[in-house]
């Protein structure tokens, strides 16, 4: 695609690609349709320039340095560049190329994040181990609970309460026995001292 005329089909194709990228990668993260609205407003604002006649498009590209219909002295056709020269507005073709590249960039960044997570890079050791155990369990057909620390069955709660009660009762029984022994020891010592 050159910087010259742009067909409406190309504009629709790029708009769909950008909206797909926004809907997949930005809207779920933010929960807000702001990005989608911004893309739509930018495309609508640029919609008048993309539907211009080929003669006016040619005149717009001819006004750029080095695009007099021939190749620039340095060998490049500036209108064919994917970015606009400094200080110039991009041509419709350049704007569409930039939008298409942005959509590809957003998709590639999301894919890169997925790969990092799949290789467990960037996670702490505990989280990495937890994910590896979950993946292994899924491979053999098991499903681990969401968080094993917080989930207890009613039987486990009752057993824990019984152990706690038993520990408290045992501690109370030991304390009571020590008190009896201390009381018996002091009474026995007093009785032995009186008999002498």
pLDDT in tens, 3-55: 467 899 999 999 999 999 999 988 888 888 898 999 999 888 875 443 333 44
Mean pLDDT of the chain: 75
| Residue 21 belongs to a domain | yes
Q: Are residues 112 and 158 in the same domain?
A: no
Structural domain count, the chain: 2
| Residue 128 belongs to a domain | no
Q: Are residues 106 and 188 in the same domain?
A: no
Tokens at 76, concatenated? 């490049």
Q: Are residues 178 and 98 in the same domain?
A: no
| Residue 137 belongs to a domain | no
Cα separation, 68 vs 71, whole angstroms: 8
Residues sharing a CB contact under 8 Å with residue 93, sequence separation 6 or more, in sequence order: 1, 2, 3, 4, 5, 6, 79
Cα separation, 43 vs 96, whole angstroms: 9
Provide the whole-model pTM.
0.47
Cα separation, 45 vs 61, whole angstroms: 19
Q: Are residues 113 and 161 in the same domain?
A: no
Main-chain dihedrals φ then ψ at residue 106, nearest 5 degrees: -60, -45
Domain extent, residue 174, equals 153-196
């Amino acid at each position: 695609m050159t910087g010259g005329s742009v067909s409406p089909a190309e504009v629709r194709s790029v708009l769909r690609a950008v909206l797909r990228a926004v809907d997949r990668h930005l809207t779920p993260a933010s929960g807000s349709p702001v990005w989608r609205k911004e893309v739509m407003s930018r495309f609508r604002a640029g919609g008048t320039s993309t539907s211009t006649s080929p003669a006016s498009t040619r005149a717009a590209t001819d006004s750029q340095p080095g695009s007099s219909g021939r190749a620039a002295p340095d060998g490049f056709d500036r209108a064919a560049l994917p970015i606009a020269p400094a200080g110039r507005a991009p041509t419709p073709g350049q704007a569409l190329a930039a939008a298409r590249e942005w959509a590809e960039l957003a998709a590639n960044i999301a894919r890169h994040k997925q790969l990092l997570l799949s290789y467990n890079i960037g996670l702490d050791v505990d989280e990495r181990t937890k994910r590896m155990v979950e993946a292994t369990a899924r491979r053999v057909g098991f499903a681990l609970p969401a968080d094993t620390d917080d989930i207890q069955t009613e039987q486990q709660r009752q057993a824990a309460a019984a152990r706690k009660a038993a520990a408290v009762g045992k501690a109370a029984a030991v304390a009571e026995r020590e008190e009896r022994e201390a009381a018996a020891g002091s009474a026995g010592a007093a009785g032995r001292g009186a008999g002498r």
